[in-house]
Amino acid sequence: MKMGIVGLPTTGKTTLFNLLTGQNLETAGFATGKVEAHTGIAKIPDERIDFLASHYKPKKTTYATVELVDVPGLAKGASAGKGVGNQFLEAVRKADALIHLVRVFDNSQATHPEGSIDPLRDVETISMELLFSDLGVIENRIGRIEAGKKITKEHLTEKEVLVKCKDALENGQLIHEVNLDEEEQELLKNFGFLSEKPMMLVVNMDESQLAEGAYPQKEELETYCGEHRLPLMALSAQTEQEINQLEEEERAMFMEELNIQQPGIHQVARTSYDLLGLISFLTAGEDEVRAWPIRRDTIARKAAGKIHTDIEKGFIRAEVTAFADYREHPSMVKLKELGKVRLEGKEYVVQDGDIMNFRFNL
């Protein structure tokens, strides 16, 4: 599962990518015209894992991860194939969900491609590129269906869904906002529409905006995100990067000064995980405490297969404890006494935060 970071040049995409992946790619105060997309692995912070690890003191602690792509240079005109536009859009197409980064920070060292700070304009610019790209694909396909010699019933059903999406796009809606049933979604799957991808909006602030909790067009962006059903959050990528370089003690002081309870990238990482439709089941032991990513609605036997195919094949049952119960009584012995360790069969639908212990035959 892959997240893509999109946004205009000099919004801080690479800075955010570095923060989330621990890489150290070059950032620049101007549009570099670079075309290659970079890929990295982002750790998903998880307090439940921290809590379990503090009790089990395991040899190894493993967090869930997702793949992250820094998609450079998406700009106005990309959907019309301007510059290397289509190349960028192809990189977006490969992502399963998107972090749309928008700039509100003031930084004379970093040239804004439009010469001014206007986040609503910028968000709409990028959204329009996604929208126009989808519209192009749809018009093409409808044209082909209509020009075809033989029009089947399937063609008509497909056209109907496409027209529904086209109408929405022409009204400035993104495809992810259109209410589609499962059958309709299935029909659209192969198109890989860009505006159908789950997306969150992240506002990149400077240090003073962060301290004040205010930035230009805040209300307008909130309204925009409400209308388009997008999660919205704000952080300062550069400030977080600077904080990272501090010693532990200084870091705590600095964070308090800026009134930050926890790094913004934690929330970005967790929301990304959610947008990808992922949840975690947990395993805990002296060797390892670990979060395992699974899709929502995965059954126990399939979840077991994430650990090892042998466990899936030889599945007998799972011992399951909700993390909330463990937090209250951090002892498996105690939890068993209290009847908080359930035995579940292979069809059990695993819930986020389930602590699982699989019984299996070899």
Ligand X SMILES: Nc1nc2c(ncn2[C@@H]2O[C@H](COP(=O)(O)OP(=O)(O)O)[C@@H](O)[C@H]2O)c(=O)[nH]1
| Binding site residues, ligand X, CB under 6 A | 7, 9-15, 27-29, 105, 107, 109-110, 204, 206, 236-239
Alpha-carbon span 341 to 358, nearest angstrom: 12
CA atoms within 13 A on the CB side of 41: 4
Which sign, positive or negative, has the C-alpha torsion 64, 67, 72, 74?
A: negative
Which residues neighbour 94 within 8 Å (Cβ) at sequence distance 6 or greater?
2, 4, 69
Closest CB to ligand X among residues 36, 328: 36
298 makes contact, choosing from Mg ion, ligand X, none, with CB < 5 to 8 Å by partner type, with: none
Query: Min. distance of Cβ 72 from ligand X in angstroms?
Result: 6
Alpha-carbon span 26 to 28, nearest angstrom: 7
Closest CB to Mg ion among residues 13, 112: 13
65-70 and 2-6 as β-strands: parallel, antiparallel, unpaired? parallel
Q: Distances in Å between the alpha carbon of 304 and those of 293, 297, 307, 335?
A: 11, 14, 6, 22
Query: Min. distance of Cβ 105 from ligand X in angstroms?
Result: 4
Buried b / exposed e over 145-154, threshold 16 CB at 10 Å, is: beeeeeeeee
Nearest alpha carbon to residue 109 among 188, 28, 46, 53: 28
Closest CB to Mg ion among residues 36, 222: 36
Closest CB to Mg ion among residues 13, 166: 13
Helix (H) or strand (E) holding 203: strand 199-204
11 binds Mg ion (CB under 5 A): no
4 makes contact, choosing from Mg ion, ligand X, none, with CB < 5 to 8 Å by partner type, with: none
Nearest alpha carbon to residue 78 among 125, 38, 45: 125
Nearest residue to Mg ion, scored by beta-carbon proximity: 14
Closest CB to Mg ion among residues 38, 166: 38
Query: Min. distance of Cβ 13 from Mg ion in angstroms?
Result: 5
15 makes contact, choosing from ligand X, Mg ion, none, with CB < 5 to 8 Å by partner type, with: ligand X
Query: 29 and 238 in contact (C-beta within 8 Å)?
Result: no
Query: Min. distance of Cβ 11 from ligand X in angstroms?
Result: 4
Q: Which two tokens stand for residue 290?
A: 């670990």
Task: Point out which span in 13-21, 190-198, 318-326, 346-354 binds Mg ion (CB under 5 A).
Answer: 13-21
15 by Cβ neighbours in 10 Å (0-12 / 13-18 / 19+) ranks as buried
Size of the site for Mg ion (CB under 5 A): 3
236 makes contact, choosing from ligand X, Mg ion, none, with CB < 5 to 8 Å by partner type, with: ligand X
Alpha-carbon span 13 to 101, nearest angstrom: 7
Query: Min. distance of Cβ 278 from Mg ion in angstroms?
Result: 26
Alpha-carbon span 163 to 158, nearest angstrom: 9
Query: Min. distance of Cβ 50 from ligand X in angstroms?
Result: 27
Query: Min. distance of Cβ 65 from ligand X in angstroms?
Result: 21
Query: Min. distance of Cβ 34 from Mg ion in angstroms?
Result: 7
What residues from 44 to 103 belong to the interface with Mg ion (CB under 5 A)?
72
14 binds Mg ion (CB under 5 A): yes
Helix (H) or strand (E) holding 38: strand 38-43
Alpha-carbon span 349 to 225, nearest angstrom: 32
111 makes contact, choosing from Mg ion, ligand X, none, with CB < 5 to 8 Å by partner type, with: none
Closest CB to Mg ion among residues 38, 301: 38
Query: Min. distance of Cβ 61 from ligand X in angstroms?
Result: 30
Closest CB to ligand X among residues 15, 272: 15
Closest CB to ligand X among residues 10, 133: 10
Closest CB to Mg ion among residues 2, 55: 2
What residues from 135 to 194 belong to the interface with Mg ion (CB under 5 A)?
none
204 binds Mg ion (CB under 5 A): no
- The contact set with Mg ion (CB under 5 A) reads 13-14, 72
